[in-house]
Amino acid sequence: MATILIYTSNVVGKAMAGPAIRSWEFAKSLSQKHKVVLVTPNQTAIEGEGFKIIAKRDSGLTQWIKYADVMITQGLTLSMAWQAKKYGIKIIIDAYDPIPLELLELFKRDPDKVRNERLNSSLNHLIFNFKMADAILCASEKQRDLWMGFLLGQKLITFSSYDQNNSLRQLIDVVPFGLPKEAPVKTGPGLREKYGFSAQDKILLWGGGIWNWFDPLSLIRAVASLSKHRSDIKLVFMGIKNPDPSVPEMAMSVEAIRLAKELGELDRSVFFNHGWVPYEERHNSLLDATIGVSTHFDHLETRYSFRTRMLDYIWTKLPILATAGDSFAELIDQHKLGKVVPYQDEQALAEAIETLIDNPEQMDKIKANLEAFSPQFQWDIVIKPVEEMIAHFAKQPAPSLHYKDLKTLSTFVSNQVAEKGLKQTAQLVLNKTLNNFTRRP
């Protein structure tokens, strides 16, 4: 049994976004065999299911750090790296979210100087994370190829790691988002009650936030065109306001609401939930839906993304309508889980919507395909590579601070100076302990 610290930088609570949900489910799954602590940026009233929750600023965290074996994080800070090397903790970086590719879209309207600074900062942080990592996780084989190239470019693929296992699975492996083993059962009011939809209405559910790299506009236009000759199609966007206050409002969500209003479809055929559905209640909305939708643009973020909302669609046996281009589109086509349409094609979207909802026999076949497909994504299955990494670590010597680690830390501090200024970085460094990097007794 290992002692595992799972760090998340996203708010943990009743309402959670993807990164926090992933950390929560990691903690839940790994606690079946290990002692697990979920470290959160916030104080939370909810309790862990088989694991302990501690806020990052809680003084009690220090004792857990001293005796931890493994640290799992989606973003390593300087402080966390120091602690890991000081106490001999193995580091697993969860790189399921290719953030630099998201930033290309998120800040594309900003001045060039700002865009370049943000991208360079993100890349420097990623390099630091990968250099300090003992192992890396990603969400798909396509992502694994991306990160393999990154590791090779940073000279982090070595004969030593290759000789251990020439597949390098012990260094970087695939852990997609998972889904619960238990079948969902409605436990409370859903979309029909909230919006007053009839039993005959066909609900298209956008099961997450509207990020700048998504294309809700083509979908809204498709629904608007259908509403000219039928009134039973309703499009619902399940979340607008992210539960994490540090996440800014997305320009695309503002644009989507503006377009729905401009077309005269706001609160007629297009609806927005301006809050965020609690994680443990999301199934009530999903089970009311007819089709799960996800549309995006043709760019780099799409190619390497892993749309976590798709797992909720699969869990609730919701036929999927999606744009081509990402790893899930390939699965939808291959396993006949719904329909895939070209980028920004309103007519193709409208035709696909009607083809699905007006063909009950086809919908039943898709639901049967989803039923057969879903078990491979259950959390107790997808978490296995993490278990294998932990078992591999147990056979290795505890890490200590070597010259290469000092060099990596030094480079990271230098980059911080360049980005944040000398005074702020010096204060950060002075607040940490670099005096004793010995292993724990």
Residues sharing a CB contact under 8 Å with residue 176, sequence separation 6 or more, in sequence order: 96, 139, 140, 306, 311, 377, 382
Can you say whether the dihedral through the CA atoms of 377, 383, 385, 388 is positive or negative? negative
pLDDT in tens, 343-388: 999 999 999 999 999 999 999 999 999 999 999 999 999 999 999 9
Tell me the average pLDDT across 38-56.
91
Place 280 in a pLDDT band, splitting at 50, 70 and 90. Answer: very high
Rg (CA), the chain: 23
Give the number of other CB atoms < 10 A from CB of residue 195.
15
pLDDT of residue 254: 95
Report the C-alpha gap between 183 and 369 in whole angstroms: 15
Distances (CA, A) of 51 to 18, 29, 76, 327, 377: 19, 10, 21, 32, 22
The pairing of beta strand 233-237 with beta strand 270-272: parallel
Q: What is the pLDDT of residue 188?
A: 94
Q: What is the DSSP letter of 310?
A: H
Does position 160 have pLDDT exceeding 90, yes or no? no
Q: In 3D, which of 111, 98, 53 has the Cα closest to residue 303?
A: 98
Q: What does 100-129 look like in DSSP terms, one character per residue?
A: HHHHHHHTTTS-HHHHHHHHHHHHHHHHHH
What letter does residue 72 receive in the DSSP assignment?
E
Three-class secondary structure of residue 98 per DSSP: coil
Which helix (H) or strand (E) segment holds residue 206: the answer is strand 202-206
- Tell me the average pLDDT of the chain: 90
For residue 260, pLDDT beyond 60: yes
Among 322, 306, 315, which Cα is nearest to 19's?
A: 306
Give the other-Cβ count within 10 Å of 101's Cβ.
20
SS3 for 52?
A: strand
CATH says 191-373 is which class? alpha beta
One DSSP character per residue, 267-283 reads TTTEEE-SS---GGGHH
Tokens of 416: 């911080």
Predicted confidence band of residue 438 (pLDDT cuts 50, 70, 90) = very low
CATH class, 3-178+381-430 region:
alpha beta
The CA distances from residue 394 to 90, 387, 398, 402, in Å, are 10, 11, 9, 20
Nearest in space to 89 (alpha carbons), one of 150, 20, 6? 6
> Which H helix or E strand runs over 216?
helix 216-226
Q: Are strands 320-323 and 202-206 parallel, antiparallel or unpaired?
A: unpaired
| C-alpha 318: how far from chain center | 20
Q: Say how far residue 369 (Cα) sits from the centre of its chain.
A: 25
- pTM comes to 0.88
Helix (H) or strand (E) segment spanning residue 321? strand 320-323
Where do the structural domains in the chain lie, given as residue ranges?
3-178+381-430, 191-373
pLDDT digits (tens, 9 = 90+) for 183-238: 999 999 999 999 999 999 999 999 999 999 999 999 999 999 999 999 999 999 99
Give the pLDDT band (50/70/90) at residue 434: very low
Answer yes or no: are the C-beta atoms of 19 and 8 closer than 8 Å: yes
* The pLDDT value given to residue 441: 34
